[in-house]
Amino acid sequence: MVPQLRYGNKNLYVVALAGGVGGAKMAHGFAKALERSQIPAENLTVTVNIGDDFEHLGLTICPDLDTVCYTLAGIENPKTGWGRANESWKAMEAVERLGGPTWFRLGDRDVGLHLERTHRLRLGESLSQVTRDFCHLLGISSQVLPVSDDRVPTRVYTSLGELSFQEYFVYYHCAPKVTGFSFEGVENAMPAPGVIEALDTADLVVICPSNPWVSIDPILAVPGILQAVKQKRVVAVSPIIGGQTVKGPAAKMFTELGIQPSPLAVTRHYAGLLQGFILDQADHLLSSQIKELGMDTLVTNTLMNSPEDRVQLAMQVLDFAANLQNH
Amino acid sequence: MVPQLRYGNKNLYVVALAGGVGGAKMAHGFAKALERSQIPAENLTVTVNIGDDFEHLGLTICPDLDTVCYTLAGIENPKTGWGRANESWKAMEAVERLGGPTWFRLGDRDVGLHLERTHRLRLGESLSQVTRDFCHLLGISSQVLPVSDDRVPTRVYTSLGELSFQEYFVYYHCAPKVTGFSFEGVENAMPAPGVIEALDTADLVVICPSNPWVSIDPILAVPGILQAVKQKRVVAVSPIIGGQTVKGPAAKMFTELGIQPSPLAVTRHYAGLLQGFILDQADHLLSSQIKELGMDTLVTNTLMNSPEDRVQLAMQVLDFAANLQNH
């Protein structure tokens, strides 16, 4: 029996599973939606993918975590989908002049965060503890948690051989054809402190419109997460609109893996997990097929072009989740 | 028998021993003086103190080496005496906002150099190799060498106890009274490749107007250096003018160690090493006393306020060294 949920209930507790840009925007929408409903900000936990994390120039870089934090703090770069707004590039210019690697662009303010985080990790602090402190200092009241304090780097199997995620994503611009993924060491990874507790407390788990293969799967693959999620009311927002992704290679990955990219493919990917699914009006014809898989659907505008779009979508998702018929 | 030396000789080879600002300006003067005399730029080797080097925010920072390189490349900050011109501070602002340490200021361009250097050192390259490459990319034709590829951190014994050099110098602004110095691990340090070779080739070794205690002594303390220097014609430029230093705590250190700071004190510090000494006209009255110690003196304007001052001083030093009477 899943818990009862009423949107507007001051005790409503939401866990959002998120990757980078789409997840960050959705998470920001939830934070604002709770604020408008006078629900405490702490009642939102954003559990974030760490599969993209890597070491570069000696810095520990956590792209999804940073995109989520920058977005929740309102200091994200709205154009790139990564990094900070009003960024400068002087450190990178110096690295370039000295013959260093420049394929992964790091803004100066961003470098500052990486320096301080890397420094603290080396001193023995955990990623979740450092993230908690950073969020506090950045004025973020929602809880942001890396899914694990262990390293679980995503490996991408491609036509060019096995690549690290950032090699695939940034260095090769997602060009190589993918044949599969693995999350290195995930079998021994532990959920970060607070992750399972948040899921246990949650009335609702929302799978954000993030890449199912390389943003959400690495979260669900951490031992204990899937089991905890399955106890809950779970809805997902489609990252595929009209056969394409707003950003990132999810649609391309589905195609290369022999699956036609569509909201239907997404629901099948999350088979057995969802009680509700939110898809874009561009895909309204698929709604009945998805319902046949045993879940409710909400057809709406899922494009989050403006901050207000995020809040509107978040409020609709919460309202939809509160009124699911299949329970 | 020291080698014959004629300033203007196309084969003239000079080794300058240097710390930070004063050493960097003097080295730049020598580079320009050789250029004007059409002596190959490679005939100048600047051997640089590494006692100030330290780890900060996970970065390997080499303040004297960087000041020398930035100055020789013409991109130094002329006001601070450290860091680069036209610097920005966005990374540092981010570190500060995230609660990180800000007592040691790092500009964005400077951070870029530290990132690339630290990265390469971690990959196993030596400091001298990385410095060589950086110099090439920065357009520096003189040879710049850290005195050693080993770590030889200066420890400062003070009224507050034993401090690392940067704790003393930057964090405490040189306020604690010093009682002595040591150079950790120096007994096992090796001169960097090229250091002894340059000294063996040199017609002249110039001790730059750098701090005798914490810039020059850590160079001379590396096994093999003093012995090689002693085979050569050696002159020093006084870092003390009118009882004071242009920059840095050298005069304060002399006083705290019970020695009146003066050019005379400097020559005594380098007892047995010098055949010539260059002191400022402000101290001309000390010239005869210094001569009595068995060396020639040159009394001139040693203040290097402008780039042209540096060249003029350098040319005078070379001319003086070529005409030493006490040989």
- Is residue A37 one of the residues assigned to a domain? yes
**Structural contact between residues A27 and A208, judged by C-beta atoms closer than 8 angstroms:** yes
Q: Is the pLDDT of residue B148 over 80?
A: yes
Q: Which residue of B has its CA nearest to A134?
A: B98
CA angle A186, A192, A193 (to 5 degrees): 150
Structure confidence at residue B82 as a pLDDT band (50, 70, 90): confident
A57/B115 CB distance under 8 A? yes
- Does the pLDDT value for residue A3 go beyond 70? no
Determine how many CB atoms are found less than 10 A away from the CB of residue B205.
27
The residue to which tokens 């160690």 are assigned: B257
How confident is the model at residue A8, as a pLDDT?
74
CA distance A200 to A197: 5
The nearest CA of chain B is from the CA of A123 a distance in Å of: 10
Residues in B touching A100 (Cβ below 8 Å): 112, 115-116, 119
Report residue B3's pLDDT band, with 50, 70 and 90 as the boundaries: very low
In the three-class reduction of DSSP (H, G, I as helix; E, B as strand; rest coil), residue A326 is classed as coil
Contact B112 A92 (CB under 8 A): yes
Neighbours of B176 (CB within 10 A): 17
Q: SS3 string of chain B?
A: CCCCCCCCCCCCCEEEEECCHHHHHHHHHHHHHHHHCCCCHHHEEEEECCCCCEEECCEEECHHHHHHHHHHCCCECCCCCCCECCCCCHHHHHHHHCCCCCCCCCCHHHHHHHHHHHHHHHCCCCHHHHHHHHHHHCCCCCEEEECECCCCCEEEEECCEEEEHHHHHHHCCCCCCEEEEEECCHHHCCECCCHHHHHHHCCEEEECCCCHHHHHHHHHCCCCHHHHHHCCCEEEECCEECCEECCCCHHHHHHHCCCCCCHHHHHHHCCCCCCEEEEEHHHHHHHHHHHHCCCEEEEECCCCCCHHHHHHHHHHHHHHHHCCCCC
CA dist B300 and B284 (Å) reads: 8
The pLDDT, as a whole number, for residue B1 is: 34
Q: What pLDDT, on a 0 to 100 scale, did the predictor assign at position A2? A: 41
Q: Which residues contact B74 (CB under 8 A, 6 or more apart)?
A: none
Q: Which two tokens stand for residue B164?
A: 């690392």
- Residues A251 and A243: their CA atoms lie apart, in Å, by 7
pTM of the model: 0.92
Answer whether A20's CB lies under 8 Å from A248's CB. Answer: yes
Residue-wise pLDDT tens digits, A239-256: 999 999 988 999 999 999
Percent of chain A residues topping a pLDDT of 90: 92
Q: Do B116 and A107 touch (CB under 8 A)?
A: no
Using DSSP bridges, classify how beta strands B276-280 and B296-300 pair: parallel, antiparallel or unpaired. parallel
Residues A279-307: tens digit of each pLDDT: 999 999 999 999 999 999 999 999 999 99
SS3 labels along A18-81: ECCHHHHHHHHHHHHHHHHCCCCHHHEEEEECCCCCEEECCEEECHHHHHHHHHHHCCECCCCC
CB neighbours of residue A273 within 10 Å: 19
Structure-block tokens of residue B4: 């014959």
* Residue B186 domain flag: yes
Spacing of C-alpha B189 from chain mean position: 18
User: Is B145 within the bounds of a domain?
Assistant: yes
| Average pLDDT over every residue of A182-194 | 98
Name the DSSP letter for residue A323.
T
Contacts of A133 in chain B (CB under 8 A): 98-99
> A-chain residues within 8 Å CB-CB of B138?
97-98
User: Is the torsion defined by CA of A206, A212, A216, A217 positive or negative?
Assistant: positive
Q: Which residues of A touch B137 (CB under 8 A)?
A: 97-99
Domain around B171? 14-322
Alpha-carbon distances of A109 from A39, A146, B92, rounded to whole Å: 32, 21, 8
Nearest to B99 by CA among A74, A68, A115: A115
The CATH number of whichever domain residue B60 belongs to comes to: 3.40.50.10680
Q: How many domains does chain B have?
A: 1
Say if CB A221 and CB A155 are below 8 A apart: no
pLDDT of the residue at A1: 34
Count of other CB atoms within 10 angstroms of residue B292: 9
Asked, for residue B251, whether it belongs to a domain, the answer is: yes
Average pLDDT of span B210-225: 98
Query: B88 to chain A: which residues are within 8 Å by CB?
Result: 88, 90, 108
N-terminal to C-terminal alpha carbon distance within chain B: 8
Identify which of B145, B137, B131 has the alpha carbon closest to the alpha carbon of residue B18: B145
For residues B279 and B301, the answer to whether their CB atoms sit within 8 Å is no
Q: Residues A296, A325: contact at Cβ < 8 Å?
A: yes
The C-alpha atoms of residue A296 and residue B168 are separated, in whole angstroms, by: 67
Using a CB-CB cut-off of 8 Å, the residues of chain B touching A85 are: none
Over 70: is that where the pLDDT of A193 sits? yes
CB contact under 8 A, B94 and A100: no
Assess contact for A194 and A134: CB atoms under 8 A: no
- Nearest residue, CB atoms, A88 vs list B90, B99, B113: B90
CA distances from A136 to A77, A129, A266, B311 (A): 20, 11, 34, 54
In a domain, residue A9? The reply is no
pLDDT in tens, A40-89: 999 999 999 999 999 999 999 999 999 999 999 999 998 888 899 999 99
Best mutation target, A98, A102, A135, to test chain B (most B CBs within 10 A): A98
Q: List residues bridging with A280 in a β-sheet.
A: A300
Minimum CA–CA partner of B97 in chain A = A137
Q: What is the pLDDT of residue A5?
A: 65
Q: Per the CB < 8 Å rule, is B137 touching A98?
A: yes
Is the residue at B306 inside a domain? yes
Of A92, A93, A115, the CB nearest to B57: A115
- Residue-wise DSSP of A254-313: HHHTT---SHHHHHHHTTTT-SEEEEEGGGGGGHHHHHHTT-EEEEE-----SHHHHHHH
Give mean pLDDT, residues B42-60.
Answer: 97
Inter-residue contact B210 to B252 (CB < 8 Å): no
* Partners of A145 in beta bridges: A47
- pLDDT per position as a tens digit, A15-43: 999 999 999 999 999 999 999 999 999 99
Averaged pLDDT of chain A: 95
Q: Which ipTM value was assigned to this complex?
A: 0.90
Instruction: Measure the CA–CA gap between A201 and A199, rounded to whole angstroms.
Output: 5
- At residue A25, the pLDDT reads 97
pLDDT tens string B234-281: 999 999 999 999 889 999 999 999 999 999 999 999 999 999 999 999
User: pLDDT category, A326, cuts 50, 70, 90?
Assistant: low
Task: Return d(Cα A274, Cα A207) in angstroms, integer.
Answer: 9
Percent of chain B with pLDDT over 70: 98
Residue B46: which of B76, B67, B61 has the closest Cα? B67
What confidence score (pLDDT) does residue B326 get? 54
Mutation choice for A interface testing from B65, B87, B98 by most A CBs within 10 A: B98
Q: CB–CB of B13/B202 below 8 Å?
A: yes
Give the residue carrying structure tokens 């021993």.
Answer: B17
Asked if residue A115 belongs to a domain, the reply is yes
The residue-averaged pLDDT of A124-136 equals: 98
Q: Is B99–A137 a contact, with Cβ atoms under 8 angstroms apart?
A: yes
| Inside any domain, residue A7 | no
In terms of Cα–Cα distance, which of B9, B131, B135, B137 is closest to B72? B135
Which two three-digit tokens encode residue B171? 């964090």
Instruction: Tell me if B221 sits within 8 A of B214, measured CB to CB.
Output: no
